[in-house]
Structure 1
């Protein structure tokens, strides 16, 4: 089922992309453009989200460390 969905979405994306870029292609080429574009786009999006996740993880680690230092200074350091 995911292959069929990829072909349908790829056909729609390829059609839209070829019209926006004003390129005249056959139906199989349009579908291939859309499917390959979907694969490349999803890989780039996953990479961007992974990098963003790492950045948020680092920011969370820094905030957590700051909170622990604040607790230590406030309650445990006479």
Structure 2
């Protein structure tokens, strides 16, 4: 996934994930959560991406960001 697409999809996924998980963060943190979540989700859902395209990438990014938020809330705070 090109870096620009990763940042755009990650930012959108991070925004949605922080709202779904009820976490208030600033913009850079939200984008970082989304980008790292996209990386996590991309690795986990690689086969699904091949089958269904960018929509699966967005779903993977969203799920990865939500996982990252849960890990943050559980183990860091």
TM range (shorter): 0.5 to 0.7
Q: Which runs of 5+ in 2 are unaligned?
A: 50-77
Q: How does 1:40-55 map to 2 (within 5 A)?
A: 40-46=40-46
1:6 paired with 2:18, answer no
Query: Greater relative contact order: 1 or 2 (C-alpha under 8 angstroms, separation 6 or more)?
Result: 2
Distance 1:48 1:37 in 2: 16
TM-score between the two structures when normalised by the length of structure 1: 0.56
Q: Which runs of 5+ in 1 are unaligned?
A: 50-78
